């Protein structure tokens, strides 16, 4: 469980950085307007719910760890698509893939915590899981900001 929580903190930090920066990237790099950015955020939330539901069934077939690994591969694919996106349509594709992977990775992580924790200690283990997720919410944007320059780190940190 300790090893999983450590891994979760780091992969969730990357996910949190993507979440924090998605709207900024959409407006600045893709030239989305306010309405289009809000629509993207709403649609991504719907695809996240779909991802959580669909990957629950995938998890039943593949297992917890393989499902998380598959969702992390999906995140890598999403980053590649977003990086090479030169049209709004390609960015929408990346954003929806992010939504699917967001819901899937979060639900698979929660399920793995339930699987790994002894029944009499579910509350404590889910508390540690919540702490790891909150820590990653700070580390992801902060790490991105520090890598981009101190000023960006200050700006990104409060967004988490």
pLDDT in tens, 5-57: 999 999 999 898 888 888 888 998 899 999 999 999 999 999 999 999 999 88
Domains identified in the chain, total number: 1
What's the pTM? 0.84
C-alpha to C-alpha distance for 152 and 52, rounded to whole angstroms? 32
Please give the average per-residue pLDDT across 134-147, as a whole number. 84
> What pLDDT score was predicted for residue 141?
81
> Over the range 6-33, which residues count as b (16 or more CB within 10 Å of their CB) and which as e?
eebbebbbbbbbbbbbbbebbeeebebe
At residue 85, the 3 state secondary structure works out as coil
The CATH number of the domain holding residue 138 is: 1.20.1250.20
Write the pLDDT tens digit of every residue in 57-106.
899 899 999 999 999 999 999 999 999 999 999 999 999 999 999 999 99
Helix (H) or strand (E) holding 97: helix 88-116
The range of the structural domain enclosing residue 94 comes to 2-159
């Amino acid at each position: 469980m300790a090893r999983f929580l450590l891994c979760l903190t780091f992969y969730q930090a990357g996910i949190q950085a993507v979440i924090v920066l998605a709207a900024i990237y959409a407006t600045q790099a893709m030239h989305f307007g306010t309405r289009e950015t809000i629509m993207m955020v709403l649609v991504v939330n719907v695809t996240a719910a779909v991802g959580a539901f669909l990957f629950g069934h995938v998890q039943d077939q593949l297992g917890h760890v393989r499902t998380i690994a598959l969702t992390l591969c999906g995140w890598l694919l999403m980053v590649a698509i977003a990086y090479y996106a030169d049209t709004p349509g390609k960015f929408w594709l990346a954003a929806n893939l992010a939504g699917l992977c967001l819901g899937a990775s979060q639900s698979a992580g929660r399920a793995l915590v339930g699987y790994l924790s002894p029944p009499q200690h579910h509350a404590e283990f889910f508390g540690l899981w919540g702490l790891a997720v909150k820590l990653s919410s700070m580390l992801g944007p902060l790490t991105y900001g520090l890598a981009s320059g101190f000023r960006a780190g200050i700006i990104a940190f409060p967004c988490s």
